[in-house]
């Protein structure tokens, strides 16, 4: 029985990983189609790898520790759960981080925590109605 459960979890984790990589691939295609300068998976401090860094790694590395207004980062997670906190450490020179997710209806307490942590949640328009009015503004 333990072998079956282990195998089942392995299959499920591979499926989730493919879904996450697929989301990143689609997002990268949209950015390229709109000629938006970015780098995917660049190494920042402490070997962190934000999913997307804008405009590029060179601008990020040349920026002072307090940051540069030209810098932006975007994490991409098909579902958040508590994993959204991982994004917070991925680019120390960027104070306001962005996280794209497909997850509908993240709880108000959790979106309040994101806001308090300077994390801007980005969701597709069809998912907007699953969030409260206060969090859609």
Which of the residues are catalytic?
A: 60
Cis amide bond preceding 55, omega within 30:
yes
Structure tokens that stand for 131 in this block: 């969030």
H helices then E strands: how many in the chain? 4, 5
Separation CA 28–CA 37 (nearest Å)? 10
Chain centroid to CA 120: 10
Separation CA 127–CA 45 (nearest Å)? 33
């Amino acid at each position: 029985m333990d072998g079956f459960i282990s195998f089942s979890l392995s299959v499920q984790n591979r499926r989730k990983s493919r879904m996450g990589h697929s989301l990143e691939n689609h997002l990268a295609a949209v950015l390229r189609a709109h000629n938006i300068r970015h780098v995917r998976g660049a190494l920042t401090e402490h070997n962190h790898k934000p999913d997307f860094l804008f405009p590029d790694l060179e601008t990020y590395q040349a920026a002072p520790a307090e940051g540069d207004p030209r810098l932006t980062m975007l994490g991409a997670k098909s579902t958040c759960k508590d994993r959204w906190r991982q994004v917070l450490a991925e680019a120390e020179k960027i104070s306001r981080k962005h996280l794209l997710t497909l997850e509908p209806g993240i709880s108000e307490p959790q979106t309040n925590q994101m806001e308090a942590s300077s994390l801007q949640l980005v969701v597709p328009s069809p998912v907007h109605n699953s969030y409260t009015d206060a969090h859609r503004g």
